[in-house]
Structure 1
């Protein structure tokens, strides 16, 4: 099944999977390439800094590095969802070149993305790794670490957690709709991607359940707890917090 220019098959999967496509957004938005290179725009200024500040305000984060972690995981979830969804349903993936993908950092979750050109690529694990890990998450991690004290293992743990979460949601949807081939493709791709050198130390996948070896720091926001795949079973005591990030 060839990619259609609207990526219409993603719509029923929900907001993390759906992607606006075609032309350029009506409001001139920065591209993700701008964000990773910390280039300012007339509309959003420094997009990455704006996003981190927005998340910090929304979750009342006591430190900007916590908001940076949450923001990174949210964007990773969007990128994995779009890519895995297309791979499972179309057997092809769109080229999500950061220069083609516009981003509104001031929007609410899930991240508002707009792909200006739909260019099909093979739905192979190596291609998905190139598109998401090398094309986006590596430069995003570099940009965030330039301004925030975040351990690399935390960010790759976020990336793996976002991948496992997207795969789990897609597998559940495929099962409910009798899409057995899509479910099987999702599980295979998720397993192979989590074995990638950048993610292989991030956690353990058992079926569709994932247990990570790091913590995203969300437990440190007011009212926050540990996530379902966290390395902790309960929020650490304050004396242990230094070891979590």
Structure 2
């Protein structure tokens, strides 16, 4: 969900309007039947909160629909991690957008529920979470690269 929103803002200067976003009943596929949004500079004072609101509204709805309840701050950490990884992937695909993506991602990480979920650790959007997604507890799971528990035991 972060990738198309980031890319559209950085590459085209448009904050996507995700009000009509549809999710498949049988999987993770998303569909936006009508492209809509508004023009804004990627680092505009209104663009960051607008982008944050568009994406997190859908993430909250997704969390509310889970069969099991997950701690809200854990989900916030997952969202922050997904944001950073989306920005890193977009930067790799479009190195000319790296500076804008880094600035936008840094500002988003200091917005709303993403604030305090982790910290950037260096250039290239290195990131360390303050929470753990608990994937290491799944069969054959490991600690993620941005895990807050990294360095506290076997990976």
* Number of aligned positions between the proteins: 146
Q: Which runs of 5+ in 1 are unaligned?
A: 1-78, 238-245
Aligned to 2:94: 174
- Which structure 2 residues correspond to residues 78-89 of structure 1 after superposition, within 5 A? 79-89=1-11
CA distance in 2, matches of 1:211, 1:157: 10
1:173, CA displacement in angstroms?
A: 1.4
For the 8 Å contact 2:87–2:101, the answer to whether it is kept is yes
Structure 1 or 2, whichever has the larger Rg, is 1
For 1:192 and 1:213, the matched residues in 2 are separated by: 17
Per-residue deviation at 1:105? 4.2
> After the TM superposition, which residues 179-198 of structure 1 pair with which residues of structure 2 at under 5 Å, given as runs?
180=96, 182-198=97-113
Matched, 1:141 2:60: no
Paired with 2:25 and 2:126, the residues of 1 have a C-alpha distance of 30
Query: Runs in 1 of length 4+ with deviation above 4 angstroms?
Result: 234-237
Q: 21, 24, 29: which is aligned to 1:101? A: 21
| Counterpart secondary structure, 2:6 | helix
- Select 1:117's aligned residue among 34, 56, 59: 34
Cα 1:190–1:204 change in 2 (3 A) is same
Contact 1:83–1:128 (Cα < 8 Å) also in 2? yes
- Structure 1 CA distance for aligned equivalents of residues 131 and 82 of structure 2: 13
Structure 2: state its 5+ residue gaps.
Answer: 41-46
- Aligned-residue CA RMSD (Å): 2.0
| 1:216-239 per-position Cα deviation (integer Å, ceiling 9, x unaligned) | 1111111110110001126879xx
Give the alignment partner of residue 78 of structure 2, picking from 142, 158, 182. 158
Match of 1:131 in 2: 54
Q: Distance in 1 between matches of 2:17 and 2:94?
A: 23
Aligned equivalent of 2:43: none
Q: Taking structure 2 as the reference length, what is the TM-score of the superposition?
A: 0.85
- TM-score normalised per structure 1: 0.55
From the superposition, tell whether residues 229 and 105 of structure 1 become closer, same or farther in structure 2 (CA, over 3 Å).
farther
